Amino acid sequence: KITMPCCQNEWADRRSCHPAGLDQQMERNMGESVPSRIDHDTQAYWQGLKERKLMIARCRDCGHWIHPPRACCPVCWSDEIGHEEPSGKATLFSYLLQPIEQGGAPLVVGWAELSEQDRLFVIAPIEGASAETVSIGEPLRLEWVETGSGPQPAFRQVVVGA
């Protein structure tokens, strides 16, 4: 069962913040990689994934990268937002170990900080990494993995000096 942060308070009235059936819809969508609603702000990102391109929103006025995509720049408030493909170079900022199946090795899911800007994160699996080999601060590079719903971004550890 999914619990939303707004519903965890005793005073929260779930009916005021969640339309009927939202919990069931969210649970159905958890296994999907593409959201059920693609809008003007996210369309370029999701289309880019289909083409194996990581298209990140970027302000045309001040150059600030914006992810997840949104309608206006959080720095200068401009609504002149374009989309660009970053270099694919990143540093591992943080990670979690996601259990997959009982007795199996957990999936390493990382917060990859893209080299284009401080605190520009993409959350994705770290391919080939394990609890024993992953290290915060290590360099990563963008890769793509095929899933049932199409290509998805992932990262791989970069061997320094190779």
Q: Which residue has better confidence, 102 or 57?
A: 57
Q: For residue range 3-55, what is the model confidence (pLDDT) as tens digits?
A: 344 444 444 444 444 444 444 444 444 445 556 678 889 999 999 999 999 99
Phi, psi (degrees; rounded to nearest 5) at 106: -75, 155
The Cα–Cα gap between 103 and 45 comes to: 35
pLDDT at 19: 47
Mean pLDDT of 72-87: 97
pLDDT at 38: 84
pLDDT at 35: 60
Q: For residue range 128-159, what is the model confidence (pLDDT) as tens digits?
A: 999 999 999 999 999 999 998 899 999 999 98
Nearest to 69 by CA among 122, 125, 124, 142: 122
The Cα–Cα gap between 156 and 150 comes to: 19
The Cα–Cα gap between 81 and 100 comes to: 37
pTM for the structure as a whole: 0.75
